[in-house]
Structure 1
Amino acid sequence: MCEATLVSPKRFPIGLGTGGNRTGGPPQGKVAIQSIHDAIDSGYRHIDTAIDYQNEKAIGQAVTEVLAKGVIKRQELFITTKLMPNPTNTREETLKSVQLSIQNLNTSYVDLMLIHMPSNDLAVNDKVWSALEEAVAQKLIRSIGVSNFNAQQIDSLLKNAKVVPAMLQVESHPQVNQRQLISYSNKHGIHLTAYSPLGAGTLIKNPTIVEIGKSHNKSAATVMIRWQVQRGVVAIPKSLKLNYIKENIDVFDWTLTDNEMKVLEDMK
């Protein structure tokens, strides 16, 4: 078994999430395109999408437009997408799904592709994973991983896998710290990405987090993202508003104290 190639999360510690939120579904069309332009202009280099978000084409268009300006190169971006395991799909059909995502994103490869959700049929997970390993061999994908898997489901996958998942993406924020899953992932050399790092927006008014933010002249949202980055977890916050997009990446010139990290880690 070998490790999947993955550019270090230290280079891409924060990404723009493009899934749905409490106010609606994933951004589409012009809205999605503008959010990508705003994010890249603000310093983001990691973009997270999925086949089920139905915005790969819009994201591909935005990335193409940005690259055409010559400000950044494709290799400076880290693009993640995901596919759902389909129990009726053959190996060839899964590979076609990979190729369709690449076509939608208007790129020659995807940096990271995840199995979006685990199938209850573990054999289906194995079948899809084997197809993704083939996609890596064909250089269609640089890295492969899983999303919403627990430790037992990953253990099952590893029994037949040739490549260790490079990334595990799960919900994580101060009220869902995923401490045990992070420990498990570290033992297996798997990086962890936190989606909903702001608790789907429910924690931005939490008084404890707000007070920590005040001590650094930062927002509660920025505190939660800094917490993830400081403990080695990639964060992919979602926003369509330029001021929040900029705010969410304002985490690199300051640090949380050990005590503040513990308060956030132990929050219920």
Structure 2
Amino acid sequence: MTVTTVKLNNGVEIPRLGFGVFQVPEDETAAAVTAALQAGYRSVDTAAIYGNEAGVGRALAASGLPREELFITTKLWNTDQGHDAALRAFDASLARLGLDYVDLYLIHWPAPARDLYTDSWRALERLAREGRIRAAGVSNFQPAHLKRLMDGSDLVPAVNQIELHPGLQQAELRAFHAEHGIATEAWSPLAQGAVLGDPEITAIAARTGKSPAQVVLRWHLQLGNIVIPKSVTPARIRENLDVFDFELTDEDMASIATSDRGLRTGPNPDEFN
């Protein structure tokens, strides 16, 4: 299986499908990431708040894979926002990962009540200039947050990682991204399983001989999203990667479009701090 890539607005290429480790316990992380790397994943997404960066780092070190073949993402937590605090937090993440650089560093939430995300962005600009991150981005930012960043900086976020799945399709935000050259990356791409029983999705799965999860991941890819499904089960880890040998029809895509019902599995970015 060949995972295709997306070229970000600074020319860096990111695999369209990566492996997420949200809610994976630290003592299970190394095994899960090892299984993913063995299955063929080369992109791994973690965050300081997940508490498992060290487990990711152990798996990367043990894999024997060349660093340049890997794409590693981690994120700045809300309580570490601010210019100097963000630089310190990045150093701590890098040490836990055991790496010299990360491929993508994200501000995890705008945390608007803290009002520090523009200061944090200046820290990411510095890290990008220094070559310690290959790309700078954000997560859970709404259009107003993105506009404020771009108004005060020449560096446009390369990625906005957002909750996105058939139950929460974020069409307006995806259109904003497209207009400004920001790649859309989907977290909770399967809505933690909440959309897998939708009649539209199960019907397509029955017709194509794929699982509902594979249908949803294929839907993401055909929309142009980057996607980071999570699992600790080796068979499901492999299954989630096996989505490059079929295509959904225009009718399938239109059918899944009807599943949008504003379903959030996580916090509202305008309220979470």
Point out where structure 1 has 5 or more consecutive residues left out of the alignment: 21-25
Aligned partner letter, 2:29: A
Query: Which residue does the alignment assign to 2:32?
Result: 35
Q: Which has the higher mean CA deviation after the structures are superposed, 204-213 or 117-126?
A: 117-126
Alignment of 1:1-268 (within 5 A): 5=10, 7-9=12-14, 12-20=15-23, 26-29=24-27, 31-67=28-64, 72-86=65-79, 91-121=83-113, 123-268=115-260
State the SS of the aligned residue for 1:226.
helix
State the SS of the aligned residue for 2:161.
strand
Shift of 1:6: 5.1
Please provide the CA RMSD for this pair. Answer: 1.6
Distance 1:100 1:4 in 2: 27
Distance 2:78 2:127 in 1: 15
State the SS of the aligned residue for 2:218.
helix
Shift of 1:5: 3.0
| Compared CA separation, residues 6 and 48, structure 1 to 2 (3 A) | farther
The answer on whether the counterparts of 1:174 and 1:267 sit within 8 Å (CA) in structure 2 is yes
State the SS of the aligned residue for 2:185.
strand
Aligned partner letter, 1:75: E
Deviation track 1:122-164 (CA, whole Å, cap 9, x = no partner) reads: 7411100001100111111111111111111111111112210
Normalization by structure 2: what TM-score?
Answer: 0.88
Query: Which residue does the alignment assign to 1:23?
Result: none
The answer on whether the counterparts of 1:32 and 1:55 sit within 8 Å (CA) in structure 2 is yes
Shift of 1:243: 0.8
Normalization by structure 1: what TM-score?
Answer: 0.90
Aligned partner letter, 1:137: R
Identity of aligned residues (%): 36
The answer on whether the counterparts of 2:82 and 2:117 sit within 8 Å (CA) in structure 1 is no
| Compared CA separation, residues 190 and 122, structure 1 to 2 (3 A) | farther
The answer on whether the counterparts of 2:9 and 2:182 sit within 8 Å (CA) in structure 1 is no
Distance 1:203 1:93 in 2: 38
The answer on whether the counterparts of 1:82 and 1:115 sit within 8 Å (CA) in structure 2 is yes
Shift of 1:201: 1.1
Shift of 1:180: 1.1
Shift of 1:84: 1.9
